[in-house]
Structure 1
Amino acid sequence: MEYVELTGNPRHDKLISLVMSNGYISNEELAKILNVTPQTIRRDIRQLNDAGLISRHHGGAGRISSIMNTEFSKRETAYIEEKTTIANEVANFIPDGATLFITIGTTVEFVAKALKNKNNLRIITNSIRVANILYQNKGFEVITLGGILRSHNGGIVGPSALSLVSGFRADYLITSLGAIDPDGVLLDFDINEVAVVKAMIEHSRNFILIGDHTKFHASAAIEIGNLKQVSTFITDSKPPANIINILKENKVELRIAKK
């Protein structure tokens, strides 16, 4: 069984991998495989459920929902160190004078904060929160897309946003996502937000995908695209072997951000 370090606890990491491989697995099976008591398994599942890594069910555990994303306010305070590390790597990678598409999400908000000290950037975004971070730099031109403003995450979606994207050609798209499937398919939770990301991919010279290690073991339902389309993938830890193979086969640059 292949697993990567997610939690710093090897038993928890193995438990997560078992859940992701099986979809659902009972407490009894987990206890037997991991050689611990059912009481320990129940405690482990409760902790991992609270961390948003698996879903707790009666008598066992399953993958987290592919339909519903974790509440935005909870994601803001999760994996702060990892997101900061990734954001700093992105800021070091982006040259001054570039035109950027930046999407919606907590990780890209960390990127926006890291970009504040760059020079002469043009940013086109469908996130009011990203715009609010960046507009105060007098050397930046910040353009927000028009459309429907969402209260839960400050995102802008709808036909107007899609139409405005087509009027630009960005040097770089910077976006995160909900999950990366083992076959390289990129996934997220909201069809309207995904539609804007797809339009940005089509109108960008370079596609920078960012995501922490949890994206390799998450689940989401709406397809954004494929790793094959990505120019550079920036993450915080070594991806699983199958993902590395896809990156190599398609000449996608992998950058593992260092703390």
Structure 2
Amino acid sequence: MRYTQAPERRRELLRRVEDAGYVSSTEAAVALAVSEMTIRRDLRQLAAQGLVNRVAGGASLPTPTAGAPFEQRRGAAMTEKEAVARAAVPLVTSDAVVALDAGTTVAALAALLPGGLTVVTHSVPVIQTCVGRADLELIALGGAYHGPTRSFTGPITRTSLGDLAVDVAVLSATAAGPAGVYSANASDADTKRAMARIARRVVLLLDHGKLDARAPMRFMDLAAVDVVVIDGGVAGEQLAMLRAHCRQVVVAPLSGAAPARVDGDLPGAPPVARRPARAAVAGR
């Protein structure tokens, strides 16, 4: 049967996801006699409504990850997060002081860090990863413990960050899009802003599902990010949006076999430069 009308096509896609728990974009395109691009567009619309989760190759039943406990969020999109973490390693190897936030993708990066770095973090999982390594210096930030993110947060955390300067801040997000980068809660957003403010460079780690997600707390503009790292499951339209808003985009292969693809600076834009700490982020 050919589904020519978008509403009936999306209802059929939703029925298939509910029945099987997953729908393949390729298989759905054949079954519904439309292009795979049309199916991807329909799935993005369903994801924007919170009816499905976008995953590599299709969509699955939604799981409430925004604001969910850390371990539940860490288990979502694991392949994508691991690919992004691997691709991010070369972006921090030459930086002496690296700030890592409390995101699950950032936690995956912590296990891959080369020696010789100083790590600044409020994340308990990152602290646990780094504390046993003699080749890393660790600055663990205190504050009020927040269970869902397994991190320290609040005024003490912000004050501690205000006394530091870092070479690169590696941040994660619950959602991202043309309007900005978002977090699930105010305290987490506040800590991310503080990390970005003291950093010379900001690297944002995203799995492609974050481009279809929604979250309430906006903490920075995409244009204020120096490098975005995203997995190879990103759709062409999403990648074009990132290129239009960001200075540099690194696309991480999901297989791990091929090298990450780097999209250069925007045409006509100056090369990505190391910002002086604090001053250039004051307007964020």
| Secondary structure of 2:147's aligned partner | coil
State how far apart, in whole Å, the 2-side matches of 1:239 and 1:15 are.
15
AA matched with 2:85: A
Name which of 158, 171, 178 aligns with 1:175: 171
2:123 to 124, 127, 133: 127
Task: Label 1:251 to 1:99 Cα distance change in 2 as closer, same or farther (>3 A).
Answer: same
How does the TM-score come out when normalised to structure 1?
A: 0.74
Task: Give the direction of change, closer, same or farther, for the CA distance of 1:164–1:83 in structure 2 (3 Å limit).
Answer: same
Q: Distance in 2 between matches of 1:128 and 1:71?
A: 13
Aligned to 2:24: 9
- Going from structure 1 to structure 2, the CA distance change for 1:99 and 1:8 (only over 3 Å counts) comes to farther
State the distance in 1 between where 2:50 and 2:96 align: 45
Asked whether the 8 Å contact 2:225–2:246 carries over to 1, the reply is no
1:186 aligned onto 2:181: yes
- Structure 1 runs of 4+ with >6 Å offset: none
Distance in 2 (alpha carbons) for counterparts of 1:150 and 1:251: 31
Given residue 147 of structure 1, which amino acid in structure 2 is its aligned partner? G
Paired-residue identity, %: 19
Which of 61, 67, 77 aligns to 1:48? It is 61
The residue type equivalent to 2:46 in the other structure is V
Residues 184 and 228 in structure 1, CA contact (< 8 A), matched pair in contact too: no
Q: How many residues align?
A: 216
Note the alpha carbon deviations across 1:89-110, whole angstroms, 9 max, x for none.
1113222452011000211110
SS at match of 1:114: coil
- 1:145 counterpart = 2:141: yes
**How do residues 74-93 of structure 1 correspond to structure 2 at under 5 angstroms?**
74-93=72-91
Q: Residue in 2 aligned with 1:102?
A: 100
Letter in 1 for 2:45: L
Instruction: Kindly indicate whether the alpha-carbon contact (under 8 Å) linking 2:222 and 2:246 is maintained by their aligned counterparts in 1.
Output: no
**2:268 aligned with 1:255:** no
Q: Which amino acid aligns with 2:185?
A: D
Q: TM-score, normalised by structure 2?
A: 0.68
* 1:197 alignment counterpart: 192
Return the letter of the residue paired with 2:91.
F
8 Å Cα contact 1:187/1:225 also seen in 2? yes
Structure 2 unpaired stretches of 5+: 1-5, 7-21, 29-38, 52-57, 257-284
Q: Quote how far apart the aligned CAs of 1:252 are.
A: 1.4
Deviation at residue 133 of structure 1 after TM alignment: 0.3
Question: Is contact 1:120–1:139 with CA below 8 Å preserved after alignment?
Answer: yes
Q: 2:156 aligns with which of 123, 139, 160?
A: 160
1:238 deviates by 6.0
For residue 218 of structure 1, give the secondary structure of its aligned residue in structure 2: coil
